Structures are given as structure tokens and as C-alpha cells.
Structure 1
Amino acid sequence: MTEIVLDTLGKDFGSFTALRDMDLTIRDGEFMALLGPSGCGKSTTMNMIAGMLEPTRGQIRFDGKRIDGVPMAKRGVGFVFQNYAIFTHMSVRENLAYGPKAQGMSRAEVTRRVSDIAELLQLTPMLDRRAAGLSVNILQRIAIGRSAAVEPAIFLLDEPLSNVDAAFRAVMRSELKGLQRRFSQTMVYVTHDQLEAMTMADRIAVMDHGRLLQVGTPLEVYNNPSDTFVARFIGSPGMNLIPARVDGDTAHMDGIGALTLTAAPGTAQVLAGFRPEVVHPDDDGPLAMGVEIVEHIGARTIVHLRAGETEVKAVLDAEHTAPREGQAFRFRVDAADIRLFDPATGAAMKRHG
């Protein structure tokens, strides 16, 4: 296992800054997800950790030792790319054995590692099949297994599940988490999919436009986003953000109603934020909007509400009768579930509730 420290790490490509002064410590044996939209700098960060790119400024340290200029082959990292990179002319067994053989391991050790990884990733029945002709799902599983077979101290995965189908993606999330726990590796996982990050990672580093915005456990990032970008990006759907005027312990929202706060910043213009899941239908509730669209998604119903130009989403479970489109919908939001943001900067204000 290895601790990774990124110290004011930056990367420029000509006049374009891909990463700005990133400070991040990835703990020994931790599963860290780098999460953000395309172009946010997450893959650039991973490529510098791997040694495929050199930083423009700052340092990368493994267990306290600088690795500037250390080639990728000597960093003790395993890397899995978005597009599987395997030898299709070889059998599954030969692909899994490639790394351990290249490291000069004994035949018995190579056999053990191949057997263990194949069993863990459900590849045992096809060990002697050629990789050519296998499905994309299986090829990506082989790519993960080939890197894992050398049991690297650091395992880097760059969007490894983005090209596989949804059902297989759900299976692989569980298997990757099991793989990391079994070998106690420090794992860095790049993804734009917040569901992957939320379900797999010990902590999430949320990025946008080359900046690190927030680091925390999935629940910390979900419950207390650092700014409006994180609030909207995390969650499905993301957090509702409504212009409001705070007066005393009340946030007034034009055309909708008022929210009661347990603490307030005096008099201020704010964005009042609350998750769709904390909207409670209430015939006597203080808030009212019109139902625009109703989406039934299994046990959940997503209700799209509108009042003038303001939109709100509510997530209801099966115990609530779904409203009909065109109806008026009254609801409440508990004070403890409200977050306030500065409308000018987007930064979270002192927690309220």
C-alpha cells in the first residue's frame, strides 16, 4: 500500500491550464474517486500520478518520496484505460499471466495469481479461449485482471466501465470494490459518473475546470456540497437551488412560499438548496408549485414542478400517490435539510439546520 500526496500540482499545455495547484492526499489503502465532467482535469491528474505526464509545477510523492522523473515502469502502479488494451491474439490465461511473467515471477506464482484473479473476476471458464471475439464486457474484465495480477501497490483506473453495458457496469462496481479490499491497494478511479463514485469510493474528489472543489466521503459531499456546482453535479437529480430572500429565520421564494431556517445570516439574498429526496408532500405545506412532468422510475417517482421560471424536482417513493400533471402540489422541506449558497460566488454559506 502507498500514500499519494499531490502538492500544489499543476499542468499546462501551452497557454491552456489543465490543472491548477491541486492539493490532495490519497491515503494508504484508500479508494479515491476523481469525479467531474469531461475536461475537468481528472485524467490529466491520473496520468501524472502514473508517470505518463510530467507536472508543470508542484510535486507528487509516494510515501513521502518525490517521484519526479521516475518512469512509469518503476512507480509500482497498475493502469486500466477506458478502452481496453489487451492482446487479442493471446488466450485469456496468457493475458492475465503477461504481467507476472514480465516481472520474472516463478511459474507456480504466475499460476496462482492467474487462478486467483480469474476466479475473482469470473474468467475461469474461458481461460483457454482466445481474447479475439470475446465481448467488450469480457475484454474490459480481462484488462482489469491483467493489471491486477501483478498486485500493484497503486491501482489507477481511467473510466474503465464507460464502454460496457449498464447491467455489467453494476456487476463490475461490486467486483472492483472487492478487488481493492482483497489486495488493500491504494486505488484512484477516474469517472464522470457520480453513481460510480458514490457507490465505490471511500472518498470523492470533485473537480471542474482544472480545480479541486471538494474532497469528502460520499455522504459528506452529498449532504454538504461546497458550492453550487457540487450541489448540482452530485445526486440524481441534483440539488434544487432557488433564489430566495432571507429575513430573520425565514427564506422567502417568490411565487412559491417560504422556508423556515433554524439559523440565518440576517438579511441576505441567497440560493436556497434542498435535495429532491427531502421534498415531503403536505396538503398544508407552506410551499406550492404546479406539476409539469411525472416520471415513474421503478420504486421512485420524479415529479418536475414549476412556478414561473423556477423549477424544482421532487423524488417520491412508492408509498406516496403520484400527483397528476397539471395539478397543484403543496409540500414542505424540513429546516435541517436546507443549505444556503451565495448567489454571487456559488460558495456554501454557514450550514443552516
Structure 2
Amino acid sequence: MTRITLENLGRDFGEFTALANMDLTIADGEFVALLGPSGCGKSTTMNMIAGMLEPSHGEIRFDGRNMNGVPMAKRGVGFVFQNYAIFTHMSVRDNLAYGLKAQGVGRAEIARRVGEIAELLQLSPLLDRRAAGLSVNILQRLAIGRSAVVEPSIFLMDEPLSNVDAAFRAVMRSELKGLQRQFKQTMVYVTHDQLEAMTMADRIAVMDHGKLLQVGTPLEVYNHPADTFVARFIGAPGMNLLPGRVTGGDGAPVIDLGAAGHSGALRLEQTGDILFGFRPEEVVPDANGPLAMQVTAAERIGPRIILHLAAGDHRAKVVLDGETPAPQQGETFRFSVPERSVRLFDAQTERAL
């Protein structure tokens, strides 16, 4: 296992800054997901860890050893790309064995390790098939196996499941987590899919526009987002953020939300303009609730109903259990938000308060 330390790491392409001053430590055997939208700098970060790109400034250290300038082949990393880059003229067996042969591993050991990884990834019946003509799902599984079989101390995965179907992604999320636990590898996983990050990673590093915004466990980034970007990006749907103003003085301060009503009494130290945040799943339908918004649309998705709400300039979403009686389009929905579920953000900086 290997500890990865990124210190003041940055990468510029001409005048464009792809990554700015990133500080992140990934512990031995930890599974960390770099999560963010396209262009946020997550693949650039991974490529620098791999040795495919050199930093413009800062350091990358593996177990304290400075890796700047060390070629990829000498870093002991395994890499799986979004485009699986399989040797289609070779058999599945030969693809799996390719890296081991390059390392000079003996034939008996190659046979053992190829057999084990093929069994784990359900490739055993296909070992003697040529890779050409295999499905995308199988090719991506083969690409993962080819990198995993050499048992690198660091495993880097760049959106490996983005080209495969939804059912296969669900299976592979579980298999990848099990694979990482079995080999006790330090894993860095790049994705724009929050579900992948939330279900697999020990910690999530949320990025946007070349900046690291927050690092924490899946529950930490979900329950306590550091700013409004993280609040909106994490969750399906993301957190509701309604502009409001603290009123009521020292007695029982509330947040005036204009046409949507008010928050109800809260224990607040803040004053002035703020953003009132709450998760769609944490809304409580309440005929006497302090908040009221009109239903503009209702989506039934399996066991859930998602209400789209509006009141003046405010927009929000609410998730209800499918058994809960839901108002129809055009009706008013009254509700409350428990104080423990409220998250407040500074209206100017958009940072959590």
C-alpha cells in the first residue's frame, strides 16, 4: 500500500489553469473519488499522479518520496481509462497476462493470477475468446482485470464505467469495491457520477473549476456541504437553496423567504441575507407548515414522487414516499423543514455558515 500526498499541486496550460494549489493526502489503502463536472481538473490531477503529466508547481509524494519527474513505468501504478484500450487481436487470457509477462513473472504464477482475476470478474468462460467482438461491458471488465492482475500499490481509474450500461455499472460498483479491499490498494477514482462516488469511496474530493472544494466521507459531503456548489452537486435532486433574510431580532429569529413563507423559529447567530438550504428528502408535509409553494410538476419515479415547487422567484424540489398523498399540479403544498435539517450559507460568499 502507498500513501499519496499532493502539496500545492497545480497545472497550467498556457494561460489556462486546469488545477490550482491542491492539497490532498490519500491514506494507505484508501479509496478516494475525485468528483466533479467535466473540466473541473479531476482527470488532470489523476494524470499527474500517474506520471502522464508533470505539475506546473507543487509536489506529488508516494510514501514521502517525491515523484516529480519519475516516469509512469517506475511509479507502480495501475491505470484504467474510460476507453478501455484492449488488444483486440489477443485472447482474453493473453490480455490479462500481458502486464505480468512484461514484468517477467513466471508462467505458473501468471496462470494462477490470471485464473483468480478471471474468476473474480466472471471472465473464466471467455479466457480463450479473442477480445474482438466482445461486448463493451466485457471489454471494460477485461481492462479492469488487466490492470488489477499486476497488483499495483496504487490503482487509478478514470471514469471506467461511463461507457457501459446502467445494470452493469451497478454490478461493477460492488465488484470494484471488493477488488480494492481484497488487494488493499490505494485507489483514486475519477468520476462525474455522484452515485459512483457515494457508494464506493471512503472519502470524496469534490472539485470545480480547477479547485478542491471539500474532502470528506460520503455522509459528510452530503450532510454538511462546504458551499452551495457541493450542496447542489451532491444529491439527486440536489439541495434546495432559497434566498432569505433573518428577521425577528433576539427573541425567536426566523428566515423570511418572501413568497415562500418563512423558516419557523431557529436558533441563529447570523443576521442579514442568507441562503436557506434543505434536502428534498427531509421536507415534512404539514397542513399548518410555515412554508407554502405551488406545485408546477410532479414526477413519479418508482417508489418516489418528486414535486417541483415555485413561489415568486423561489424554486424547490421535494421528494415524497410513493404512498404519501401528493398534491396535483397547480395546488399549494404546505410543508416544514426540521431545524436539524436546515443548512445555512452566506449569500455573498456562498460558503456554509
**TM class, shorter-length:** over 0.9
The aligned residue for residue 142 of structure 1 is 142
Cα deviation code 1:247-285 (max 9, x no counterpart): 243111001111135421342110000000001111111
> Out of 254, 259, 269, which is 1:255 matched to?
259
The aligned residue for residue 56 of structure 1 is 56
CA contact (8 A) 1:153 1:185 kept: yes
Matched residues in 2 for 1:170 and 1:261: separation?
A: 42
The aligned residue for residue 20 of structure 2 is 20
CA contact (8 A) 1:246 1:265 kept: no
Cα deviation code 1:144-185 (max 9, x no counterpart): 000000000000000001111111111111110010011010
Cα deviation code 1:79-106 (max 9, x no counterpart): 0001111100000011001111111111
Matched residues in 1 for 2:265 and 2:341: separation?
A: 9
Matched residues in 2 for 1:18 and 1:275: separation?
A: 31
Alpha-carbon shift at residue 305 of structure 1 (Å): 0.7
1:95-134 to structure 2, matched below 5 A, reads 95-134=95-134
Superposed CA RMSD in Å reads 0.9
User: SS where residue 213 of structure 1 aligns?
Assistant: strand
User: SS where residue 258 of structure 1 aligns?
Assistant: coil
Alpha-carbon shift at residue 319 of structure 1 (Å): 3.1
1:92 is the counterpart of 2:96? no
Matched residues in 2 for 1:262 and 1:329: separation?
A: 22
Matched residues in 1 for 2:28 and 2:270: separation?
A: 44
Matched residues in 2 for 1:300 and 1:15: separation?
A: 47
Matched residues in 2 for 1:345 and 1:136: separation?
A: 44
The aligned residue for residue 76 of structure 1 is 76
Identity of aligned pairs, percent? 72
Counterpart AA for 2:64: G
> Out of 328, 331, 336, which is 2:332 matched to?
328
Matched residues in 1 for 2:98 and 2:33: separation?
A: 27
1:265 is the counterpart of 2:269? yes
The aligned residue for residue 160 of structure 2 is 160
Alpha-carbon shift at residue 108 of structure 1 (Å): 1.2
Counterpart AA for 1:295: E
Query: Compared with structure 1, are the counterparts of its residues 160 and 244 closer, same or farther at alpha carbon in structure 2 (3 Å cutoff)?
Result: same
User: SS where residue 236 of structure 1 aligns?
Assistant: coil
CA contact (8 A) 1:261 1:338 kept: no
1:301 is the counterpart of 2:305? yes
Q: Which moved more, 1:144-153 or 1:248-257?
A: 248-257
Unmatched tracts of structure 2, length 5 or more: none
> Out of 280, 287, 293, which is 2:291 matched to?
287
1:36-47 to structure 2, matched below 5 A, reads 36-47=36-47
The aligned residue for residue 218 of structure 1 is 218
TM-score (norm 2): 0.97
Matched residues in 1 for 2:3 and 2:267: separation?
A: 40
The aligned residue for residue 317 of structure 2 is 313
Matched residues in 2 for 1:196 and 1:262: separation?
A: 35
1:191 is the counterpart of 2:195? no
Alpha-carbon shift at residue 59 of structure 1 (Å): 0.2
Matched residues in 2 for 1:208 and 1:263: separation?
A: 32
The aligned residue for residue 209 of structure 1 is 209
Counterpart AA for 1:109: E
Query: Compared with structure 1, are the counterparts of its residues 266 and 33 closer, same or farther at alpha carbon in structure 2 (3 Å cutoff)?
Result: closer
Unmatched tracts of structure 1, length 5 or more: none
User: SS where residue 263 of structure 2 aligns?
Assistant: strand
The aligned residue for residue 238 of structure 2 is 238
The aligned residue for residue 65 of structure 1 is 65
Alpha-carbon shift at residue 327 of structure 1 (Å): 1.1
Matched residues in 1 for 2:172 and 2:157: separation?
A: 13
Matched residues in 2 for 1:287 and 1:21: separation?
A: 42
User: SS where residue 180 of structure 1 aligns?
Assistant: helix
Alpha-carbon shift at residue 68 of structure 1 (Å): 1.1
CA contact (8 A) 2:300 2:322 kept: no
Matched residues in 2 for 1:331 and 1:303: separation?
A: 12
Matched residues in 1 for 2:25 and 2:85: separation?
A: 29
Query: Compared with structure 1, are the counterparts of its residues 261 and 348 closer, same or farther at alpha carbon in structure 2 (3 Å cutoff)?
Result: farther
Query: Compared with structure 1, are the counterparts of its residues 94 and 266 closer, same or farther at alpha carbon in structure 2 (3 Å cutoff)?
Result: closer
Matched residues in 2 for 1:96 and 1:280: separation?
A: 53
User: SS where residue 205 of structure 2 aligns?
Assistant: strand
Q: Please identify runs of 4+ aligned residues in structure 1 that moved more than 6 A.
A: none
User: SS where residue 315 of structure 1 aligns?
Assistant: strand
TM-score (norm 1): 0.97
